[in-house]
Structure 1
């Protein structure tokens, strides 16, 4: 059972013999209370040998600033626990949380600097390192735009005119990903009934099929699997021997989904992380005691 400490504006569970550090960032609703909302997934990651940095969702339309905050929290935790110095870092996101991880990857240079586009760059960025050689696992990834935040078109237009809309937009985010030479340590798990992020077979206006198509190019070496379930399948708590998660019905109604553990998701996620670990150079893998 992970014991969480409040450190660096995050919930941190230190594994006694970690094979890696997972920094987790969830969706905009359930991610606000991530330890409770994703309890079963996080428990399984901890049991598999990962120290956890669980970052509560920060509501902001400036996703560049949120991305920076994830780097700051990573560095803050590692400074407080020098024993993690040689333990590899991993990123696991769900839904909108995956966009923030994708922004970090797309803004990482070959010499591991964090370098957003010039228009979004701040002086403090010079002191931040990127996520080179830090694998990421994206669960039902979305790259949301104003229309996803407020599905009324003219309101999104007004937000952009007032310079309070989402930055970067979906087209801008996709363009950054296309230009990036990174994303060669990326895994995606999609869900067959996910109408929010999409799934294998969805049209490419959905983010999952677009990402899979782009990352399927040979230089990316995508690790990808699809499971039964919907957009909220990664959520869930174990209660009285059952995992109770939530599900979207009819596009908006959220109902409980009850499964007997183990679910398919957690063993698959751990397996994909293992594959990504094995892609790291031997010198960058944690040595188990």
Structure 2
């Protein structure tokens, strides 16, 4: 049966259903580009689809309150699982896989990675105690979490056993969400309690204290000035603290199972692009804009990491 690469709207997401899937990839991208994922990440999606994955593209929603958005992904996953089963049966495609939560994987790019890390953290049994420890005197944040969690059945509040691939992760807070010339605005918003929650420091605290994040892979780029790169590990303390890639490599390697990681040539927006002939156009004039397909490394590495995450889960 030929696999047709075609996205259709399902719930709040876009899905392209493989007739004989070996897994389901759930993707959330970065600000702006992630709002139109089926356009800007099209070549990336097609390569994963052709390797046998059904793809769920979750459009990015901008907000300074990251908890409600992250928690809503629990609910969206549950809805999508039911809808995919129905659609697959109607198309005479393989459908039983959609009821197996272990067949779902996550891929995030840029700020989308933060939502995935929050989901994983909340899947831990000790998340409430860690929250209390990492967000002292943050009643607004704790109430936001509690209000959002009440809308979802408790047994469905977990992505435990689902691998995560973080691509150029940007664990953003108010300072990085607002352009540097307007840094005074970011400081003001944080001071009056209207800035990004959770902050980068709080998110790092969640990850560091969690016993999860053992099914995690990371792809970084050597010329990434937003998420950083592995070379930042060897620089001064301030650079290390501001480099999400360096921080994650350092701390996720201390987990029970070390981080799966590789750095490849490219900038922060490397995953973007549509195919035109033998070239990839990334629709971003501030980046390289166009490159030959033959020089792309990201998709092959992504597919390899997805397989490695599956093998690790089975072990």
TM-score of the pair, normalised by structure 1? 0.89
Do the aligned partners of residues 262 and 15 (structure 1) sit closer, same or farther apart at CA in structure 2, a change above 3 Å counting?
Answer: farther
Structure 2 CA distance, aligned partners of 1:271 and 1:95? 20
The alignment's TM-score, normalised by the length of structure 2, stands at: 0.82
Distance change in 2, residues 1:115/1:66 (3 Å): farther
Match of 1:105 in 2: 120
Query: Is the CA contact (8 Å cut-off) linking 2:67 and 2:197 kept in structure 1?
Result: yes
Give the SS at the match of 2:223: coil
User: Please, which of 241, 246, 258 is the counterpart of residue 278 of structure 2?
Assistant: 241
- Residue 117 of structure 1 and its aligned partner are, at CA, apart by 3.2
Partner of 2:7: 4
Contact 1:190-1:208 at 8 Å conserved across structures: yes
Secondary structure of 1:22's partner?
strand
- Is 1:41–2:44 an aligned residue pair? yes
> Which residue of 60, 63, 67 maps to 2:66?
63
The structural deviation recorded for 1:114 is: 9.4
Contact 1:136–1:186 at 8 Å: present in 2 too? yes
Q: In structure 2, what is the equivalent of residue 121 of structure 1?
A: 145
Q: Structure 2: state its 5+ residue gaps.
A: 86-94, 133-141, 233-238
> Which of 207, 219, 222 is the matching residue for 2:259?
222
> Which of 224, 229, 248 is the matching residue for 1:194?
224
Find the counterpart in structure 2 of residue 182 from structure 1. Answer: 212
Q: What SS is found at the alignment partner of 1:156? A: helix
User: Could you tell me which residue of structure 2 aligns to residue 73 of structure 1?
Assistant: 76
Residues 224 and 247 of structure 1: CA distance in aligned 2, closer, same or farther (over 3 Å): farther
Task: Select the residue among 291, 299, 302 that pairs with 1:269.
Answer: 302
The match for 2:168 is 140
* Range with bigger deviation, 123-132 or 149-158: 123-132
Counterpart of 1:287?
Answer: none
**Count of residues in Structure 1 that have an aligned counterpart in Structure 2:** 277
Cα distance in structure 2, aligned partners of 1:148 and 1:81: 36
Conserved? CA contact 1:231–1:247, under 8 Å: no
Shift of 1:142: 0.8
Matched, 1:15 2:49: no
- For the 8 Å contact 1:110–1:132, the answer to whether it is kept is no
DSSP-derived class of the 1:209 partner: helix
Higher share in helix: 2
Largest Rg, 1 or 2: 2
The CA deviation at 1:262 is: 6.5
